[in-house]
Structure 1
């Protein structure tokens, strides 16, 4: 996964996404990603891929 989308998020948005993922609130995490990534707004699939990338990174 190209982490370009992750790089587009502010430090605060990243922390919020991480907290939501840890709380198993995936849909809310996607909303935060889409709201804070700027334009062009990321597609749903890109957000899901980012969350999968984060999950793999945490397990390694």
Structure 2
């Protein structure tokens, strides 16, 4: 991830929150994943659009990781 709003948002989320977000995304539970992002990021609460953008980036990153594991 480059130095974008999404990167800065991901950096605000502590490690345990990141693990929860990734687990939810992997399970296809996108709305709870966004809720977890907003909960773990703290104040100020991130904008919904930023969370959706981060969700999409994490989905792609997690998909690449699964392909790397399989190959």
TM-score over 0.5 for the alignment?
Answer: yes
Greater share of residues in helix: 2
Across the aligned residues of Structure 1 and Structure 2, the Cα RMSD in angstroms comes to: 1.4
Rg larger for? 2
In 2, the alpha carbon distance for the partners of 1:6 and 1:27 equals 17
Partner of 1:46: 50
Q: What displacement does 1:56 show? A: 2.6
> Unmatched 5+ residue regions in structure 2?
66-71
**SS of the residue aligned with 2:44?**
coil
- TM-score w.r.t. structure 2 length? 0.77
In 1, the alpha carbon distance for the partners of 2:61 and 2:16 equals 19
**SS of the residue aligned with 2:42?**
coil
- TM-score w.r.t. structure 1 length? 0.89
> Unmatched 5+ residue regions in structure 1?
none
Aligned residue pair count? 60
Partner of 2:12: 8
